[in-house]
Amino acid sequence: MTDPFTSDGAKMPPKPFTIEEGRRQVRSFVLRQGRFTPAQQRAFDELWPRFGLDYTGAPRDLDAAFGRPAPKVLEIGFGNGAALRFAAQHDPSRDYIGVEVHAPGVGRLLNALDDDGSTHVRLYHHDAVEVLEHEIADGALDEVRIYFPDPWRKKRHNKRRLIQPAFAQLLVRKLRDGGRLHAATDWADYAEQMWDVLDATPGLINRAGPRGHVERPAWRPQTHFETRGQKLGHGVWDLLYDRESGIGNRESQGQLPASPG
């Protein structure tokens, strides 16, 4: 099959992240692009101008990007886009922003959004930490969703996990007062780390109480992988946090891992 990234006349998918000389950054993802189909390449060629947001590193007017003022929901690391598509189909009153570094998943969702005739979804093919730091204004988001981030199972790789104190502080800055953070994982050790970090983050209130989780909300569809895991006795933890009002936006401290999205 022709390589979609190098074939003559093909539009190369946008770079998922930028490289800064002299700076080493711990990333919470590995670029395994997988099989990139001709249909997914066509999606980048034809649909990116309609649904895509090119990373510029400068603050973005999100209302202008969508052509309307509406609540904004950000999903980090949307994978194949099933949850983001489901949410957009069932909630046209809000604008949805998806961030994902893996090109095949982005291409697949572009085609799905075209099939749906969506007008309220925009996508970044970029590192979500950089998007949050440089393109999203403080207090601009009504909700952030992070579903099944890479658990980095080996202990020596735990530092690559996305949910770290500095990242949690960044999310607090970007959420509006009264906004919401929804994280889900099927890895018990990662759920414990999420509680350790998020329960201790000023400005976040666990809706289920300390070290608590909720039943899967209706806005998150159950995946085939999740269904299979539950049949095998595997757990899934949905963590829901409210962004406390009256907490000032702070500068995050410490090194941020790059995200999976």
Confidence of residue 254 (pLDDT cuts 50, 70, 90): very low
* 8-17, 156-165, 207-216: least confident range: 8-17
pLDDT of residue 154: 76
User: Stretch 178-203: mean pLDDT, rounded?
Assistant: 97
- Find how far residue 9's CA is from the centre of its chain: 30
pLDDT in tens, 20-44: 444 445 444 444 455 778 888 899 9
Q: What's the rounded Cα separation, in Å, for the pair 143 and 128? A: 15
Task: Establish whether 54 is an annotated binding residue.
Answer: no
Task: Establish whether 224 is an annotated binding residue.
Answer: yes
Residue 55 lies in a domain: yes
| pLDDT of 11 strictly over 80 | no
Residue 76 lies in a domain: yes
Which residue among the candidates 142, 150, 196, 242 is catalytic per the annotation?
Answer: 150
Residue 61 lies in a domain: yes
Residue 28 lies in a domain: no
- For the chain, what is the domain count? 1
* Domain, as residue range, for 201: 38-243
Token duo for residue 131: 């998007």
Residue 140 lies in a domain: yes
Residue 91 lies in a domain: yes
Task: Establish whether 234 is an annotated binding residue.
Answer: no
Q: Which residue has the higher pLDDT, 31 or 80?
A: 80
Residue 261 lies in a domain: no
The mean of the pLDDT values for the chain is 85
Residue 90 phi, psi (nearest 5): -100, -5
pLDDT of residue 72: 99
pTM beyond cutoff 0.75 = yes
Task: Establish whether 150 is an annotated binding residue.
Answer: yes
Task: Establish whether 21 is an annotated binding residue.
Answer: no
Q: Which residue has the higher pLDDT, 116 or 15?
A: 116
- Find how far residue 161's CA is from the centre of its chain: 13
Direct distance between the N- and C-terminal alpha carbons of the chain, in angstroms, rounded to an integer: 27
CATH code, domain with 161: 3.40.50.150
Q: What's the rounded Cα separation, in Å, for the pair 29 and 101? A: 8
| pLDDT of 205 strictly over 80 | yes
116 is an active site residue = no
Residue 71 lies in a domain: yes
Contact residues for 74 (Cβ-Cβ < 8 A; gap 6+): 97, 98, 99, 132, 136, 141, 143, 144, 145, 174
pLDDT of residue 13: 52
* 29-38, 96-105, 117-126: least confident range: 29-38
Q: Which residue has the higher pLDDT, 204 or 40?
A: 204
Confidence of residue 5 (pLDDT cuts 50, 70, 90): very low
Task: Establish whether 3 is an annotated binding residue.
Answer: no
